[in-house]
Amino acid sequence: MAQVQTNLDSKLWQGFDDILAVLVLPLKYRKRLRITNSIERLNEKIRRRERVIREKEKIS
């Protein structure tokens, strides 16, 4: 468990500048990026559910 925590910490620190880079942008662009991320997350959920349905069809 400690190794997982160490890996997580190192990855967060490596991407810290990238994470904060969004905060430098004006608010209207930050809002747009947040909306885009929500849409991408929704699309990923849809793809995941489609995969499950296809796998169940193969089994049947």
Q: What is the pTM of this model?
A: 0.44
| Residues in CB range of 25: below 8 A, 6 or more apart | 33
Residue 25: φ, ψ to 5°: -70, 155
pLDDT digits (tens, 9 = 90+) for 15-32: 788 778 878 888 888 777
Q: What is the pLDDT of residue 45?
A: 92
Do the Cβ atoms of 13 and 20 come closer than 8 Å? Answer: no
User: Which of 37 and 52 is assigned the larger pLDDT?
Assistant: 52
Residue 25, phi-psi category: left (phi > 0), alpha (psi -120 to 50), beta (remainder):
beta
- Name the residue ranges covered by the structural domains of the chain: 25-60
Mean pLDDT across 47-54:
90
13, containing H or E segment:
helix 2-14
Residue-averaged pLDDT of the chain: 81
